[in-house]
Structure 1
Amino acid sequence: MSAIKTGLGERLVSASTEAAAFKQLPIVSLARLDGSLDERKALAAEIQDAATKIGFMYISDHGVSQDVIEAAFDQAKEFFALPDDKKMRARDAESFRGYAPLKGENVDPANRGDVHEAWDMGDDSQVMKEGAEHGNMWPSAEDLPNFKPTLQKTWDEIMALGKRLFPLFALALGLDEHYFDEKLRRPGHTMRVLYYPPQYGEIDARELGIGAHTDYECFTLLLQHGDIQALQVLNAAGEWVLAPPVPGTFVLNIADMLQRMSNGLFRSTVHRAINRSGVARYSLPFFFGLDYDAEVAVLPSCVTSERPAQYEPIKAGAYVEQRLSETYIKVDPTQEAQVAA
């Protein structure tokens, strides 16, 4: 075993790059999401069970069009196939928007950089810092005329799904369905498209597709393209288990803010990705957070005399900014200028 640092303290993990099949990750159908209050409470109970025992689940019957999903991955493939200089023009390292090059991030400080490329987008009306003016960094419309409208459409559909899930989490935490409404006026959501080149032979545990980490926000919805296995989830014994793609589903995982707010009842579970498939792997995670000025504090419904509050309050934006600053590898600006020239 070895220890990694996360936003919720150190976690013990297996040092092995091997993983076993995960046979217990539940599939939760959202078919009752528009049903009666009793049906929604029953659905929330299923989510609560998975959130407290594993922190990961698949969700089906989610309503996001498969055509929209496939179009997004088609555009991702075209973007990551562009020459490096064109991708670097869609980069803003200060705003955490746009392109991140191979090994431009390092979620586990003990590692040497994550073996993937990324492109990130957010809501242009929302910024992390007061007075910031950073917006999305789109690739040239001359190179990829369909990239912006396609990714914006994908954002809109997954955003709509996420908004429908927050009331379920409120119910699962013993709260009124509308508890999160006032914390979601200008929320800190981020969507990424990721490209993982295949890794061959013996894998260096310090150079993974993405190293062991927890997500920062409330929850994540992840699309895994095709049938390529890469995602690995840490179980309660500190062992890595596979979370393979399941057609027609998102992977939903609890992130740090909900673990803090639930006083540790919901699990923000450590996970990583290693692409041994021999072909390129693409994924699309959408991270759902709160307004950056919203306070992330332990909920009264999750505190008892036997279980006092474990976490100090913190502003959502301050927490995310701290975690992002720890993750992104700073590139020499003169080198960036040379690459982008």
Structure 2
Amino acid sequence: MEAIQSTTQVIDQPRRLLSLVPDEVPGGPPVIDFSPFYGNDTVAKDVLVEQVRDACLAKGFFQIVNHGIPEDLQQAMFEQSKDFFSLPIEQKEKYDKASHPNKLGYERFRSQNFEGKTAGDLKEGFFFGPTLPKDHPFVQQGRIHCGTNMYPSEVSDPEVFEKTVKQYHQLMTNLATNVLSVVAMTLNLGEDYFKQFCHDSGAVLRLLHYPPQAADASEEERGIGAHTDFGSVTLLLQDDVGGLQVFDKPTMSWIDVKPTPGAYVVNLGNVMMRYSNDTYVSNLHRVINKTGKERYSIPFFFSGNPDFVVDCLPGCEDADGKCKYPPVRIEDWIFGRHTNTFEKGKGMEELSSLAKVA
């Protein structure tokens, strides 16, 4: 697969990228320099592949810097997100995703419930799918997250909001595709192995807002409960507030993921775990915001082509040449997980068997 450079600028501001790899947090996901993927240094690229392989085998989480997404665009996304979530609730609910045929739009507080211990997760969000023409088959067929996006008209500058979201979604689609190219190489597959899987992906951009929780809030009151992601790979942009935690199986404890300016927290989802026959893990994570501050994050969920059937990757079969999971169509898998956590509040059923969560 040809590497896709992310060089588009936003709102005529200069492009600024991170140039250094920050120090890692002990026990946390490693911080990896992604720039060798775009270069011609084969030794550096081999090191990148090894670093990603080690991270996928350990916790299924890592952070990447020097990834090619302009810092100015990242900040513009946070500004647009804060602008929308500051609107009165009656204006936000005009874009209720529950009423959208493709499940795009506004997500109310507590509308998702992963652990089933409270009335729901303490967050609100907004879903955007890829920009597709009205005559695209996915739109005509009512595919989940593949319809016509809604863009709020009540924000400060609706035109800038829409332009920023569209540009960011496209660049993140490119970056997720490149990350999967590296994942393919970690499994001794060709760099372009996932080309068909990535074609016309039902990628979802999600704006999230977490209100502050008291320092003495119940441990059961999560910003988002312990869960594993549904798709193939997630790329998360988080602000500097913190609150994201990843489960560490060896110590049976939760490890904080310290925000790294401009970095993306990358984690593998259920689709990749099935695809790799559990060679790689889809690890538990959660958000608990006890900082006393509002928290904003922008995850990008890359699922794969809705019609693609995930079976078992070459070389990932067990010793008897068998696979643990039956083949599954991407859209069927995503729709089932989405229904369970949003409509039925049965998110705990989606957790992997990596740990027992109290």
TM over 0.5: yes
Aligned counterpart for 1:66 among listed residues 65, 71, 86: 71
Larger mean CA deviation between 312-321 and 164-173 belongs to 164-173
The farther-off stretch of 103-112 and 261-270 is: 103-112
- Counterpart in 1 of 2:313? 299
**Other-structure match for 2:30:** 26
Question: Does the aligned pair in 1 maintain the 2:237–2:262 contact within 8 Å?
Answer: no
How far off its partner does 1:307 sit? Answer: 7.2
Q: How far did 1:300 drift?
A: 2.5
The corresponding residue for 2:88 is 83
User: How do 1:270-281 and structure 2 match up within 5 A?
Assistant: 270-281=284-295
Match of 1:229 in 2: 242
User: How far apart in 1 are the matches of 2:234 and 2:321?
Assistant: 27
Structure 1 runs of 4+ aligned residues shifted over 6 Å read 126-130
Please, what is the CA RMSD of the aligned residues? 2.2
Q: Does 1:131 align with 2:141?
A: yes
Q: 1:211 aligns with which of 221, 225, 233?
A: 225
Query: Aligned-pair distance for 1:127?
Result: 7.7
SS at match of 1:139: coil
Contact between 1:115 and 1:196, CA under 8 Å: does it hold in 2?
Answer: yes
Contact preservation (8 Å) 1:41, 1:172 = no
2:213 is the alignment partner of 1:199: yes
What is the alpha-carbon distance in structure 1 between the residues aligned to residue 289 and residue 318 of structure 2?
Answer: 43
Give 1:241 deviation, angstroms: 1.0
* Counterpart secondary structure, 1:301: coil
Contact 1:48 1:172 in 2 (8 A): yes
The structural deviation recorded for 1:123 is 1.1
Q: Compare 189-198 and 126-135 and name the one that shifted more.
A: 126-135
Q: Secondary structure at the match of 2:338?
A: helix
| 1:312 counterpart = 2:326 | yes
Name the CA distance, whole Å, in 2 between partners of 1:239 and 1:187.
Answer: 34
Aligned-residue offset at 1:306: 5.6
> Counterparts in 2 of 1:1-341, with a 5 A limit?
23-36=27-40, 37=42, 39-93=44-98, 94-125=101-132, 131-132=141-142, 134-140=147-153, 144-145=157-158, 146-225=160-239, 227-236=240-249, 237-305=251-319, 308-329=322-343
CA distance in 2, matches of 1:150, 1:90: 18
- Counterpart-to-counterpart distance in 1, 2:200 and 2:210: 31
- CA deviation map 1:202-261 (0-9, x unaligned): 323443100000001111100111x21110110013311100101131111111111111
Whether contact under 8 Å (1:22, 1:241) holds in the other structure is no
Structure 2 counterpart of 1:139, which letter?
P
- SS of the equivalent of 2:37 reads coil
Alignment gaps of 5+ in structure 2: 1-24, 346-358
Aligned residue identity for 2:27: K
Segments of 5+ residues of structure 1 without an aligned counterpart are: 1-20, 332-341
Q: Deviations over 1:46-88 (max 9, x none)?
A: 1111001111111011111110000110111110000111111
- Post-superposition shift, 1:176? 1.4
TM-score, length of structure 1 as denominator length: 0.85
Instruction: Give the partner amino acid of 2:335.
Output: E
Q: How many residue pairs were aligned?
A: 310
